[in-house]
A = this chain, B = another copy of it.
Amino acid sequence: MKTRRTKPTWIWYYGDFEIHQHMLMGLQREERGNIVPAFWKLFDCNRLIRFTKKGHLEKDETIAVTMDGVGYVSINGLRQPVREGNRHLVKAGDYVLTVIVGNATGLPSVFVQGHTIISDETWSADSLAGDKSPVGCWNLDDPAVPPSKFSLPCKPVQPVGRMKVEQGELYDFGKETFSKLVIDGGEPGAVLRIYYGESREEALHKEKTVIRDCVTIQEPQHILPARAFRYVYVESEGEPGTLSGLYEYLPLEKRGAFQCPNETLNTIYDVSLYTLELCSRLFFLDGIKRDRWVWSGDAYQSYFLDYYSFFDQDIIKRTMLALRGKDPIPSHINTIVDYSFYWLISVWDYYHHTGDGEFVSQIYPRMKSLMEYCIGRGNKDGLIEGQGDWVFIDWADMEKDGALCAMQMLYCKALESMSQCAALLDFQEDQERYGNLASTVRGKILRLYWNEERGAFVTTCRDLQPSQQIRRHANLFAIIFGFASEEMAQRIKTSVILNEEVPPITTPYFKFYELEALCKMGEYRTVLAQMESYWGGMLEEGATTFWEEYDPTLTGVEQCAMYNQPFDKSFCHAWGASPIYLLGRYFLGVEPTKVGYAEFQVRPQLGGLASMRGTVPLPDGKSVTVQVEGARVQVTTDAEGGTLVLGESRIPIVPGQPLTVEG
């Protein structure tokens, strides 16, 4: 159960903080001096909001109202005159308090401090459009700092190296960071040309360096906007002073852990966690140098990483609200068909992990309009293909025309998520509609795409004619999302996953799904081996965070290139952090079996390791710690509902009592 606030907090129209901040992020991507805005519609918050609170007072009470914007206070229908400190008297008895706030450039929001009347989740809001919305809030509790002035905290970081290179100086901060560069003691009038690099080569290239800046020293200290970098190269006319950084971050508690005798794996886990941390800001970003945008498919994976590391629900909710934007829907999320489906699927996943039904209820109307938008774009056979939309699936050489098998699988899962959420909220008509549609799509998937002869799902169908191409993607989804029977899964394993003739996955993004599928099929040793070679390969290349793409056959500066540019690959990309999830979910073996971890199981798998020890966070600040040494398993948790599963045996875990089993 959620505890109610006792202190006031800034409140706004539900989702508007996220939509406004997402708009700002859509306008900040830098690329060689250009600002490159997002290429989808950017929504903004409402400009005028009426906040309403109804209640009953035992005795008179004075409230102080702080607004971010212009407007007035109304008590029981009477507009209040201007009073000092915007302090108003609410008389004992039933009351209706409304605050009208308009903000022409920022987020209309309000902070109300009384004895019992405070601005909190119990208010409602509307945009004078016949709508009625809950209010949104977070932890913005200082009346002097309204949400429009929100910023993340910073802490100092120092370079670990500084050396003369060519006509300038190269600073090395030792690892990737996202920091405001601080210039101290530059000579007044000195002009600094600053090149940021995720790699040394990028910082030194100048012409092709992605992020750059030019500063004329006027003050003893300059603080530049936060950017991602490990290296900074500076050329200057005049004495440039010295550089340091202010690391800008979202405060998150690291609640997940993993350790084993294999130091490479330990480093992979730690670097994964740091990669995720850098990409976790107001929202889950794809990469911290570029694009710094919120991409739904990327975010979908970050949610799982979050469940196994920070278990921060707020960032998931913020990310989902930002991605969804407003009605009417102008295009698929991020313009990508599959990304709309991931969004829909993630709502039920979120509920399953957290038990936060309030969020489902708040976001359901936005789910439904997106689902209907997707259904409305089906082809004549009720299958989903791009209608001029971006069909992504993966950066891979595969057929992308027609109705992709992987896409229908996501469509079916999205419909199932809708049906489940509708059931939760007792919307029976919706539950049936989406449930029936899901069954129909599921039937078509098996009938159309499964090639019995080759033991695999084919990539696409054109006018109901299956293609002959076989790729990993749909077959991985078949296993993960349960479209393949046990028997089909075994055939897929041989004919696709372990078949080297099927082109390999080249992105950590789809490695996530490939390794998950392998885990589901019990191939733990293979998974560990692939993790060591693929993620370990990046470490060997000097990675301090994991990458957007990794092709082990490339060497040196070749690794920096992507999108036909020598340095445009992102070296810190959240989808590179999947070991967090794989190790927690399949090796430590922790998994919710009822909504919100009301029941959960621990089914550890060493996968060839001699031992391991780790922690997985649960809702409400609880956690479970698993320690395995050979056949000895110990599980400790403060949560109810746990079961240790070892082979055929299922042993209840008592909260607060370490459970030890010697196998």
Q: Which residues of A contact B (CB under 8 A)?
A: 23-24, 26-27, 31-44, 46-48, 69-72, 79, 81-82, 100-102, 104-106, 127-131, 327-328, 330-331, 388
With both chains docked as a complex, state the minimum distance between the C-beta of A242 and any C-beta of chain B, in angstroms: 28
Which chain B residue shows the least CB distance to A127? B41
Q: List 14 A-B contacts (CB under 8 A).
A: A33-B82, A34-B72, A34-B82, A35-B71, A35-B72, A36-B79, A37-B101, A37-B102, A40-B128, A40-B129, A41-B46, A104-B105, A128-B330, A327-B328
Taking a contact as CB atoms closer than 8 A, the residue among B24, B44, B82 that contacts A44 in the complex is B44
Chain B residues near A44 (CB-CB < 8 A) = 44, 47
With both chains docked as a complex, state the minimum distance between the C-beta of A102 and any C-beta of chain B, in angstroms: 4
Chain B residues near A39 (CB-CB < 8 A) = 128
Taking a contact as CB atoms closer than 8 A, the residue among B102, B106, B131 that contacts A27 in the complex is B102
Which chain B residue shows the least CB distance to A36? B72
- How far apart are the CA atoms of A47 and B330 in the complex, in Å? 14
With both chains docked as a complex, state the minimum distance between the C-beta of A214 and any C-beta of chain B, in angstroms: 11
9 nearest CB pairs, A to B: A129-B330, A33-B82, A35-B70, A105-B105, A37-B102, A41-B129, A27-B102, A42-B48, A34-B72
Which chain B residue shows the least CB distance to A72? B34
Chain B residues near A31 (CB-CB < 8 A) = 79
Taking a contact as CB atoms closer than 8 A, the residue among B33, B34, B71, B328 that contacts A37 in the complex is B71
With both chains docked as a complex, state the minimum distance between the C-beta of A390 and any C-beta of chain B, in angstroms: 12
> By the criterion CB–CB under 8 Å, are A79 and B34 in contact?
yes
Taking a contact as CB atoms closer than 8 A, the residue among B37, B46, B328 that contacts A48 in the complex is B37
The dominant DSSP class at the A interface is loop
Which chain B residue shows the least CB distance to A37? B102
Which chain B residue shows the least CB distance to A329? B129
> By the criterion CB–CB under 8 Å, are B34 and A48 in contact?
no
Chain B residues near A102 (CB-CB < 8 A) = 26-27, 35, 37, 42
With both chains docked as a complex, state the minimum distance between the C-beta of A166 and any C-beta of chain B, in angstroms: 22
- How far apart are the CA atoms of A87 and B48 in the complex, in Å? 39
- How far apart are the CA atoms of A293 and B364 in the complex, in Å? 36
> By the criterion CB–CB under 8 Å, are A130 and B330 in contact?
yes
Interface centre among A40, A46, A104, A388 (most CB of B within 10 A): A104
- How far apart are the CA atoms of A26 and B70 in the complex, in Å? 11
Chain B residues near A101 (CB-CB < 8 A) = 37
Query: Contacts A27-B104, A129-B330, A330-B128: A42 and B34 contacting too (C-beta < 8 A)?
Result: no
> By the criterion CB–CB under 8 Å, are A23 and B104 in contact?
yes
- How far apart are the CA atoms of A41 and B128 in the complex, in Å? 5
Chain B residues near A70 (CB-CB < 8 A) = 27, 35, 37
With both chains docked as a complex, state the minimum distance between the C-beta of A379 and any C-beta of chain B, in angstroms: 18
Chain B residues near A42 (CB-CB < 8 A) = 46-48, 102, 128
> By the criterion CB–CB under 8 Å, are A23 and B35 in contact?
no
Chain B residues near A34 (CB-CB < 8 A) = 71-72, 79, 81-82
Taking a contact as CB atoms closer than 8 A, the residue among B33, B71, B81, B130 that contacts A81 in the complex is B33
> By the criterion CB–CB under 8 Å, are B48 and A26 in contact?
yes
Chain B residues near A129 (CB-CB < 8 A) = 40-41, 330-331
- How far apart are the CA atoms of A256 and B32 in the complex, in Å? 57
> By the criterion CB–CB under 8 Å, are B48 and A41 in contact?
yes
Interface centre among A37, A72, A81 (most CB of B within 10 A): A37
- How far apart are the CA atoms of A398 and B460 in the complex, in Å? 67
Given A34-B79, A35-B70, 9 extra CB contacts under 8 A: A26-B47, A35-B71, A35-B102, A37-B48, A37-B102, A127-B330, A128-B330, A128-B331, A130-B330
- How far apart are the CA atoms of A35 and B42 in the complex, in Å? 29
With both chains docked as a complex, state the minimum distance between the C-beta of A45 and any C-beta of chain B, in angstroms: 9
Which chain B residue shows the least CB distance to A326? B328
Chain B residues near A37 (CB-CB < 8 A) = 48, 70-71, 100-102
Which chain B residue shows the least CB distance to A126? B41
With both chains docked as a complex, state the minimum distance between the C-beta of A106 and any C-beta of chain B, in angstroms: 8
Taking a contact as CB atoms closer than 8 A, the residue among B26, B40, B48 that contacts A38 in the complex is B48
With both chains docked as a complex, state the minimum distance between the C-beta of A174 and any C-beta of chain B, in angstroms: 31
- How far apart are the CA atoms of A127 and B71 in the complex, in Å? 30
Chain B residues near A82 (CB-CB < 8 A) = 32-34
With both chains docked as a complex, state the minimum distance between the C-beta of A10 and any C-beta of chain B, in angstroms: 19
- How far apart are the CA atoms of A40 and B630 in the complex, in Å? 69
With both chains docked as a complex, state the minimum distance between the C-beta of A294 and any C-beta of chain B, in angstroms: 15
With both chains docked as a complex, state the minimum distance between the C-beta of A337 and any C-beta of chain B, in angstroms: 14
- How far apart are the CA atoms of A357 and B101 in the complex, in Å? 39
Chain B residues near A69 (CB-CB < 8 A) = 27
With both chains docked as a complex, state the minimum distance between the C-beta of A361 and any C-beta of chain B, in angstroms: 23
Which chain B residue shows the least CB distance to A28? B70
With both chains docked as a complex, state the minimum distance between the C-beta of A354 and any C-beta of chain B, in angstroms: 32
Which chain B residue shows the least CB distance to A129? B330
With both chains docked as a complex, state the minimum distance between the C-beta of A349 and any C-beta of chain B, in angstroms: 28
Chain B residues near A43 (CB-CB < 8 A) = 47
- How far apart are the CA atoms of A104 and B45 in the complex, in Å? 11
Chain B residues near A331 (CB-CB < 8 A) = 128-130
> By the criterion CB–CB under 8 Å, are A328 and B330 in contact?
no
- How far apart are the CA atoms of A82 and B128 in the complex, in Å? 43
